[in-house]
Amino acid sequence: MEPKSPQLVDLLWNDIIFQYIFPLLSIRDLYRLRATSKSYKELVEAYFFIVHAKNLRVLKLNNCTWFTSGCLEALTLHQHHLENIDFSNTCIGDHNTMNMFLKKSKHLSKIHVENVQIITDESLFYIGQHCPLLRKINIRQNFHVTEKGIRLLLNACKKLDMVYLRLCPSLSYNFIQEISKQVRVDKCNVTNEFFTIVKFPTRQHNLFPADDIFEV
């Protein structure tokens, strides 16, 4: 079997394609390329989103299959004013790239990384060190974040008001009760039944079965 011929999409997106190839093409050429295949569609869309959009404040890419580590690397280099991001259910596979992005994103106030399994306690450390304006974070369906990471985050981010922790199996019910005195928490798993924990001014715990009551 003959080896597969290299394709344009096999080149480094940010270091080569976005920097040296796409700037030479017209908008018409890029849209023609976009129409040729699913891979080129994703490549061109990533180029327009990340490189051409200037001074983005809000970026919602949840469930975008084309948003990979290469896209995140380009985002780190080109967008420095993001305040609200949603990378939930994306295919980012390199935790070092994610940590570098967090290190460069000092304006973030809302972070949604539900079901992004490269988020670990180390990621929460980077957020705590470099995202002082953080008010809300969604890390639902995460199997790697532990109580240690959440404590680091709460101690570092003084403006943090809301943490979404549903389906994080490493977090105990007692721990959720404890931190709900400090910050609002959405849902926790108690013997396979979901409850909502709400922080009231009296700092008393109120537990009752319910759907989400906080806007993500």
User: Which pairing describes strands 205-208 and 193-199: parallel, antiparallel, or unpaired?
Assistant: antiparallel
- Compute the distance between CA of residue 79 and CA of residue 55 in angstroms, rounded to an integer: 6
Reported pTM: 0.72
Arithmetic mean of pLDDT over the chain: 82
pLDDT of residue 193: 38
* Minimum mean pLDDT range among 45-49, 156-160, 200-204: 200-204
Instruction: Grade residue 68 by pLDDT with cuts at 50, 70 and 90.
Output: confident
pLDDT of residue 190: 41
**163 pLDDT more than 80:** yes
Angle, helix 38-47 to helix 27-34, in steps of 10 degrees? 140
- Compute the distance between CA of residue 59 and CA of residue 187 in angstroms, rounded to an integer: 25
Structural domains for the chain: 55-184 (3.80.10.10)
- Compute the distance between CA of residue 191 and CA of residue 100 in angstroms, rounded to an integer: 37
Give CA separation, 99 vs 71, 76, 89, 131, 149, in Å: 14, 10, 17, 12, 14
